[in-house]
Structure formats: structure tokens, C-alpha cells
Amino acid sequence: MGQAFAQNIKRNESSIAYTVHALKAVMKTRPEPGVTVKDIPVPVIGDDEVLIKVKAAAICGSDLGIYNYTPAYSKMKLPVVMGHEFAGEIVETGKQVKGYSVGERVLSESVKACKKCGFCKVGMSNLCDESTLFGIHTDGGFAEYIAVPYKLLHRLPEGMSYEEAALVEPLSNALHFVKDITPFKSGDFVVVQGCGPIGLYSAQLFKLGSARVLITGLSVDTVRFKIGERLGIETLNIQKESLEDRVMELTNGEGADVAFVAVGAPPAVKQATEIVKKRGHITVVGIFGKEVPLDMTWIVRRELKIVGAYDAKPENFPQSIGLISSGKVNVVEVLTHRFSLDEAEAAFRVALDKTGGKVEFIP
Ligand SMILES: [Zn+2]
Ligand SMILES: [Zn+2]
């Protein structure tokens, strides 16, 4: 991080019009659960970077893993400013920045990829071997300002709010999971397991593809069930009703065409194998804190397919912007809470307790 933040003094001497010296940020500073709100120097941008005044930044499921410091994030860089879902206004541009200027409203992709490896060359920078992520490897968007390479930027269309724009990244993830990874056709029966924000976005995308969708959750998910219902998606509380019974009843005992596991709970994957039909497809997008036990013989004899899906490709960003601005996907219906950076603890509490949908910081 040393290089990411230059000293205030240097900045004061420079000729730029911009004169803020310190910024507030929500940081991960120690290898233990929790977050810290700190004042840190404003980052000095590189020649190919812009400085963004963050207007909205959303908490992701992965940020909860970081908050709890689960094993999946034990190799992250500390200290670091968290957050990779953000949008804001450009307040400064580096010398080599092309096509963007001060005052423009932008959002950013979350993966800084090498652009040279085999995956990057075919547009799959989500699988880049050398990539770094905002909020894990380099300073992220839970802050008043962030430095971003201009090549990761996307302009906000007129009429798109910053609150919506900060949700383009998670929608891009859902779009990759659903459109690029999960084969389904009109009329297919799809079970989305987990009604967190990614589950709710993915369910909307399956519906958009004319699938019949059932989304599941637990008793704790009352607010999320209501969001699902408002979006016209059938819901099921698996603590109150048997998912397997409902699926079999709705499919004449055959099973679902697709199960989409949008939770990091191992039993959900096992259950997915039990509710899809023979030759059925299972997409898994949850991040798991431990290994997942499965009955392989059952999977073999039914010729099931289990596929992982991770992050988003660059092309998913303009696609998501289009889906939001055309009104085809409603990202804001899922947004239930807004907090200042100082209220980080309360914001994370809502997200961790699942008492809301998407939670945003409005710095
Ligand atoms: Zn995310
Ligand atoms: Zn690469």
C-alpha cells in the first residue's frame, strides 16, 4: 500500500486544483474479525489513473467474508481500504488518461487484470492469473476517494443514479453466472438457492430469459422474501417447507432443470443434486468456508453437471448498464439500507444479520 498513498505534503505543492488532504475510509487493518474507520491520505493517482470522489459503494457478500476474516480471505493484503462495488465523479485525471475528464460520472470494474495472459486475451479477465481486486489487494471504494485505472471505467448513462451504478458490478457478476455459465431455455424450471442480492439479481435474469423461477431462503430472510415477491418471484422458506417436495410437485416428480447455488452453505450443494432432474445442471457461485461433501455415485448415475462461476467478464459491465437503464432489471428494489462511512459497523451488522437486501455507503 505504501505506493498507493503518497504524502500529503507533495500533494500540496503540486499544481492541481484539487486540495483535499485526507479522506475517510473503511479498512481492514488486522487479521481478525471487524473493520476500522480511519482517516488516511488521499491517493496520488498514476499517469493512467483517475481520482474518483465516491458517491455510492455497496457491501458485497465477499466483504462479509473479509469482515469475518474467513479462510478464503486469509491471504489478503493488510491494511487495505475495503470495497469493490462503487461509483462516483472524476475529480482528477492522470497524464495518460484518454477519453475521460473531470466532472464525469463513472463506475469501475472490480478486477485489475494483466491483459496479457491467455484468459485475459479471450475476454475472461475474471480468471486472470495475475489479477488484483479492489478492496482485497489494493485500496477499494469504501472511502471518500479512490484511484482507478481509466481502462476499468464505464460512463453512467443519463438518468442512472450513483446508487444504481454501484450495483452494476454485482449485477455483472450475476449476468456472467446466468448468461455465460448456466445453460437454460425458455420454460425451464430454475431453483435459485439463496435470496441474498446475487440470488435476487440472478432470479430476475432467469425470469428475463423466460424461465420459471423459485427462490429459496431461511426464516431469517423475511425482508429478502418480500423483495423477491415484489419482483414477482416465487419464494420458499426451506425451514418451513420441504424444497424437494415442492420441486417434485411442480415438475411431476422429474426435478428442476437447473439449480443455482447462491449461498456458501455446503448442504445447499448437496440439496441441489437432489432437486435437479437427471442430466440436470447445477451452477455454484457461493464461496464456502469449508469443503463440500457430496454423494458422487448419485451424481454419476444421474449424469449431473456441477459448474462453478466466478466474478464477471469486462463485457458484462456494459450489458448490465443496459439492463438497468432499460428497466429490464431492477437493482434498486434490492437496495434497502444506506449508511455513512462512520456507520460502518452498523452497515456490516445489517448485511451480516441478513436483515436487509443490498447495503450501500454514501460517503
Ligand atoms: Zn461484489
Ligand atoms: Zn491476465
Assess if residue 2 is contained within a domain: no
When the pLDDT of each residue in the chain is averaged and rounded to a whole number, the result is 93
CA of 81 to the centre of ligand 1 (A): 14
What digits encode the pLDDT tens for the residues 198-247? 999 999 999 999 999 999 999 999 999 999 999 999 999 999 999 999 99
CA of 227 to the centre of ligand 2 (A): 37
The three-state (H, E, C) secondary structure of 290-316, written as one string: CCCCCCHHHHHHCCCEEEECCCCCCCH
Assess if residue 177 is contained within a domain: no
d(CA 197, CA 208): 17
Q: Give me the pLDDT at residue 19, please.
A: 59
What digits encode the pLDDT tens for the residues 167-202? 999 999 999 999 999 999 999 999 999 999 999 999
The closest ligand to the CA of 61 turns out to be: 1
What digits encode the pLDDT tens for the residues 94-149? 999 999 999 999 999 999 999 999 999 999 999 998 999 999 999 999 999 999 99
Domain that holds residue 331: 8-171+312-361
The closest ligand to the CA of 121 turns out to be: 2
Assess whether 66 and 125 both reside in one domain.
yes
Assess if residue 152 is contained within a domain: yes
Assess whether 298 and 348 both reside in one domain.
no
d(CA 206, CA 94): 41
Assess if residue 178 is contained within a domain: no
Assess whether 220 and 291 both reside in one domain.
yes
Assess if residue 196 is contained within a domain: yes
Output the CA angle 83-314-179, nearest 5 degrees. 100
Q: Give me the pLDDT at residue 73, please.
A: 87
Assess whether 289 and 323 both reside in one domain.
no
Position 14 pLDDT exceeds 80: no
Position 16 pLDDT exceeds 70: no
Which of 285, 308, 331 lies at the terminal end of a domain, its last residue?
308
The closest ligand to the CA of 117 turns out to be: 2
CA of 119 to the centre of ligand 2 (A): 6
Answer whether 278's CB lies under 8 Å from 255's CB.
yes
Q: Which amino acid is at 271?
A: Q
Assess whether 210 and 342 both reside in one domain.
no
Assess whether 228 and 337 both reside in one domain.
no
Please give the average per-residue pLDDT across 347-352, as a whole number.
Answer: 97
Position 20 pLDDT exceeds 90: no
Answer whether 201's CB lies under 8 Å from 61's CB.
no
CA of 84 to the centre of ligand 1 (A): 6
Grid cell in block for residue 322: 443496459
Helix, strand, or coil here: 360? strand
Assess whether 139 and 36 both reside in one domain.
yes
CATH number at residue 279: 3.40.50.720
Assess whether 303 and 323 both reside in one domain.
no
CA of 313 to the centre of ligand 1 (A): 13
Assess whether 16 and 67 both reside in one domain.
yes
Please give the average per-residue pLDDT across 1-21, as a whole number.
Answer: 46
- Out of 2-6, 256-260, 275-279, least confident range: 2-6
CA of 340 to the centre of ligand 2 (A): 35
What digits encode the pLDDT tens for the residues 65-96? 999 998 888 888 899 999 999 999 999 999 99
What digits encode the pLDDT tens for the residues 262-289? 999 999 999 999 999 999 999 999 988 8
Q: Give me the pLDDT at residue 22, please.
A: 87
d(CA 310, CA 304): 20
Assess whether 195 and 329 both reside in one domain.
no
CA of 346 to the centre of ligand 2 (A): 37
Assess if residue 81 is contained within a domain: yes
What digits encode the pLDDT tens for the residues 307-337? 999 999 999 999 999 999 999 999 999 999 9
Assess whether 300 and 317 both reside in one domain.
no
Please give the average per-residue pLDDT across 20-40, as a whole number.
Answer: 93
The closest ligand to the CA of 135 turns out to be: 1
The closest ligand to the CA of 109 turns out to be: 1
Percentage of the chain beyond pLDDT 90 is: 90
Structural domains of the chain, count: 2
Assess whether 144 and 281 both reside in one domain.
no
73 to 84, 224, 269, 287, 353: CA distances (angstroms)? 15, 26, 21, 10, 20
CATH number at residue 28: 3.90.180.10
Task: State the alpha helices, DSSP H only, in the chain.
Answer: 8-13, 61-68, 118-121, 162-165, 168-175, 197-208, 222-230, 243-250, 266-275, 296-301, 316-325, 344-353
Phi, psi of 338 (to 5 degrees): -130, 135
CA of 161 to the centre of ligand 2 (A): 31
Phi, psi of 216 (to 5 degrees): -115, 160
Assess if residue 158 is contained within a domain: yes
N residues, the chain: 363
Assess if residue 176 is contained within a domain: no
